[in-house]
Amino acid sequence: MQEWIYLVIGIAVVGVLAIAGFVTTRVRRPGRLPEKASTDVITPAPSTTVEAPTAPPTVEVETPEAPAEPAAPTLETPEKPASRLVRLRQRLAGSNALGRGLLGLLSRDQLDEDTWEAIEDLLIGADIGVAPTQELVENLRTRLRVEGGQAADARAVLREELINLVDPTMDRALKVSGEGDAPGVVLVVGVNGTGKTTTVGKIARILVADERTTLLAAADTFRAAAADQLSTWGERVGVEVVRGPEGGDPASVAFDAVKEGIDRGVDTVVVDTAGRLQNKQGLMDELGKVKRVIEKQTPVTEVLLVLDATTGQNGLIQAKVFSEVVDVTGIALTKLDGSAKGGIVVAVQRQLGVPVKLVGLGEGPDDLAPFDPAAFVDALLS
């Protein structure tokens, strides 16, 4: 019996010692965390390790379970607007068939009626429009007769006349600044599919490149993907997007975004809108309301109409409808890279009496450039 008692006591003692040992290990463990954490801090500094005089031991760099600090999102640095049109010149390759054609015809020995007709056909075919074509041909005829028609001169005269036609006197600056401390508000309108949301994203990049604080409003609440699309553009350059519920009231999203912009003191708020062109009255009501609610807080500084250059006459009809609904102050002409009809620049300016301010020359994030008449004409004639 006594032996049994000793055995039980023995087992109890061993048990107590085992538990004590386990507890000690558990208590010690947290003590190791700082060591591990410090390894974490060292690991994610790749750029400084390059310059460090002594390289860190490979073991630390390769520590598999060093999740590092949450990686800071890498923001892209958009290209400055000034250099863009020069970079994108070759994208107007389709349109410079017009320039080559014109130069070819003008360098003929005899500028007879047939040649002038061929020149007219080329210009009209490039969507310049009938009245501007006649004006240009008239001016070219007069000048070449008066100044003599050497090929070299013909090129210079054509360049000058084309630049005049595009009108270098128009103010093409995007109005992105508000009065005093108020943000500038850019309202972007246009038919769906023209590249409106993409253009809003690209404008955000231009503003960031110009070091302007920016907020985007996803007021196209009808197209499910539009807000997500805009958020992706925003994330890449660190610009926030104000969104509303899908199918919600676009005006309320625009209102909230501008309010937020004022409260935060940002430089510019860019508002994407829906472009359903089912009927003019509906469009007028919708865009009218968006503009009105914004202007309860601060004026809209720019109403930018996005037009797809490849749609020709259709684009001009859209331009007319939108300009009747809302006071358009500038045009962004997209997809000029896919169009041989650069002449639409002239036609649309004439029709609306407002300048083309931006041109879209590709799907890349920085493929939107401020429009410059001389650079544009040089690209046509290159």
Q: Which of 95, 198, 268, 273 binds ligand GDP (CB under 6 A)?
A: 198
Q: Which of 335, 340, 344, 378 binds ligand GDP (CB under 6 A)?
A: 335
By three-state DSSP, how is residue 369 classified?
Answer: strand
By three-state DSSP, how is residue 305 classified?
Answer: strand
Phi and psi for 90 in degrees, rounded to 5? Answer: -65, -15
Phi and psi for 129 in degrees, rounded to 5? Answer: 105, 150
| Pairwise CA distance, residues 344 & 334, whole Å | 11
Confirm or reject binding of residue 363 to ligand GDP (CB under 6 A).
yes
Q: Using CB under 6 A, count the residues that bind ligand GDP.
A: 18
* Closer Cβ to ligand GDP, 302 or 337, answer by number: 337
Confirm or reject binding of residue 339 to ligand GDP (CB under 6 A).
no
Q: Which of 43, 96, 197, 214 binds ligand GDP (CB under 6 A)?
A: 197
In the complex, residue closest to ligand GDP by CB: 360
> Quick one: tokens of 145?
């007769």
> Quick one: tokens of 271?
């508002």
Q: Which of 186, 361, 369, 377 binds ligand GDP (CB under 6 A)?
A: 361
Cβ proximity of 368 and 84 under 8 Å: yes
Cβ proximity of 377 and 162 under 8 Å: yes
Q: Which of 127, 161, 286, 337 binds ligand GDP (CB under 6 A)?
A: 337
Which region among 14-22, 106-114, 193-201, 204-212 touches ligand GDP (by CB under 6 A)? 193-201
* Closer Cβ to ligand GDP, 318 or 323, answer by number: 318
User: Who's near 215: CB < 8 A, 6+ residues apart?
Assistant: 183, 239, 240, 241, 242, 257, 260, 261, 264, 266, 268, 269, 270
Confirm or reject binding of residue 125 to ligand GDP (CB under 6 A).
no
Which region among 75-83, 105-113, 152-160, 355-363 touches ligand GDP (by CB under 6 A)? 355-363
* Closer Cβ to ligand GDP, 323 or 334, answer by number: 334
Q: Which of 125, 338, 365, 370 binds ligand GDP (CB under 6 A)?
A: 338
* Closer Cβ to ligand GDP, 275 or 315, answer by number: 275
* Closer Cβ to ligand GDP, 195 or 261, answer by number: 195
* Closer Cβ to ligand GDP, 136 or 219, answer by number: 219
Q: Which of 360, 371, 379, 380 binds ligand GDP (CB under 6 A)?
A: 360
Question: What interhelical angle do 344-352 and 313-325 show, nearest 10?
Answer: 30
Torsion of CA 134, 136, 137, 139, to 10 degrees: 120
* Closer Cβ to ligand GDP, 84 or 196, answer by number: 196
**Chain residues 232-251 in contact with ligand GDP, contact rule CB under 6 A:** none
Torsion of CA 147, 149, 155, 157, to 10 degrees: 30
* Closer Cβ to ligand GDP, 337 or 378, answer by number: 337
Which region among 33-41, 194-202, 247-255, 277-285 touches ligand GDP (by CB under 6 A)? 194-202
Which region among 19-27, 152-160, 165-173, 192-200 touches ligand GDP (by CB under 6 A)? 192-200
User: Who's near 196: CB < 8 A, 6+ residues apart?
Assistant: 188, 189, 190, 220, 272, 273, 275, 306
Confirm or reject binding of residue 193 to ligand GDP (CB under 6 A).
yes
Confirm or reject binding of residue 315 to ligand GDP (CB under 6 A).
no
- Beta-carbon count within 10 A of 190 CB: 28
Reported as type and span, the H/E element at residue 296 is: none
Cβ proximity of 198 and 334 under 8 Å: yes
Strands (E) in the chain, as ranges, are 184-189, 214-219, 240-242, 268-273, 302-308, 330-334, 356-360, 368-370
**Chain residues 260-289 in contact with ligand GDP, contact rule CB under 6 A:** 275
Q: Which residues bind ligand GDP (CB under 6 A)?
A: 190, 192-198, 275, 334-335, 337-338, 360-363, 367
